[in-house]
Amino acid sequence: MGTCAAVAALLASTAMMVGARAAEAPHDTVVYAGALIDGVTFTPRRQVTIMVHEGKVAAVEAGYVAHPGATVIDLKDQTVLPGLIDCHVHISSKLPSQANAVEDMMTHTAVDAVLDGAIFARAMLLQGFTSARDVGGGDDTVSLRNAINEGKVPGPRLWVSLEPLGPTGGHGDPSNGFDSRLHHPDWQNGIVDTPDMARLRVREHHKRGADVIKIMPSGGIASTGDDPRAQLMTNEEIKAAIDTAHALGMKVAAHTYPAQAIINTVNAGVDSIEHGSFADADAVKAMKAHGTYLVPTLTVYDVFMKAAQEHPELLPPGTAEKELANDAIPKRNLPLAYKAGVKIAYGTDIGEGDHAREFALLAEAGVTPADALAFATRNAADLIGATDRIGTVQPGRFADLIAVAGDPLSHLELMEQVRFVMKGGVVYKADGHPVLLP
């Protein structure tokens, strides 16, 4: 069987299985948790019953309470937590060690991207991530989000931004490094060179199905020809994009590295700073004062540093040098924001790969296990704007539950070994194995 046929068969069989599981969701289910960290607080509750009805948590009760007629899931030997949330993914992106970036971009279409995304989304769900925010894709991310919501393929609930908005030659310009005569119509979808263009792009993205807006005020590292230490959008362009998005009910995430660009973007009212790699005391003070979230994304630096060291030929031209010079800085700077009390949400900046590795990197940067869990549950839900639906285990929220065999507050590495996954009342993983998935 050819690769395309195999992927098609995988998706078809998965759709049938997901549909079958989704049909079971309305039945009442009782989950017996040996311990529950509910995300409202991070003090474990012992011997807890979680009642699930029509895909949502109906009750959380002390003790192991009998509910005649309900399906029983026995997790008395495990710790149950809310489903995890990754606030910065690129769901169809391959690991840099797995593909030549330029070759892959020039030989793969949006159809390829949505198929890759479906495979990576399935893996992400089985890692325990039941929700995620994709901050930089195309129409493929809208299609994948809708397919997941309709039960056609398994994956986390997605909030998507479509193409990041930034200036010609900036971090979000797909044509960087190519012959200027090459052209693809989609390459212009995120280009913003005036405040009026910023307003137009935000409105276009909203029309095409975006839930959130991503802007690129500064240069980046994994792109050819731009400077990660320079602010490349004007303050007026930044403000126009943010104000227009907020008027449409959308939050704004900003890829921002240098301190002054962070300050300018925070003052313009942005909801989150992504990366914040070169933040100084003044930038941290601004984030703290405005209640702006930081999404550190330590995973992507770890992944790309290794790729730059071992496979520089696979990265876009001129970027391996930028990776080697800058990728160690964010981990050193994160404690400054953490100790100052800046609000932080969990994010990895990857698609393919292990989304749980961020926990270990946060721990290495001095983050406590309880705070790391908060970043990936309650805080992440707050940043997305969905605390009424996700991020905690309490009545009225989606029945998004995961479980690990031990105490993650003492052994945070257990978060890389999730044994049970329920999303919306549907079980996708039990005893460490996928349930009714190929």
Query: CA 208 to CA 219: how far, in whole Å?
Result: 26
Percentage of the residues of the chain whose pLDDT score is greater than 90:
86
The confidence band for 437, taking pLDDT boundaries of 50, 70 and 90, is low
Residue 202 has pLDDT above 50, yes or no: yes
Q: Which residue has the higher pLDDT, 278 or 26?
A: 278
Half-sphere exposure of 72 (CA within 13 A, CB side): 11
Percentage of the residues of the chain whose pLDDT score is greater than 70:
93
What domains can be seen in the chain, in order of their start residue?
Answer: 29-83+394-434 (2.30.40.10), 84-384 (3.20.20.140)
pLDDT 10s digits, 282-306: 999 999 999 999 999 999 999 999 9
Angle ∠(295,302,283) on CA atoms, nearest 5? 35
pLDDT 10s digits, 329-364: 999 999 999 999 999 999 999 999 999 999 999 999
pLDDT 10s digits, 150-180: 999 999 999 999 999 999 999 998 888 888 8
> Residue 197: what are its φ and ψ, rounded to 5°?
-65, -35
Token pair of 38 as six digits: 């509910």
Q: Rounded to two decimals, what is the model's pTM?
A: 0.93
Q: What average pLDDT does range 378-403 have in this prediction?
A: 98
Largest CA distance in the chain: 69
The confidence band for 4, taking pLDDT boundaries of 50, 70 and 90, is very low
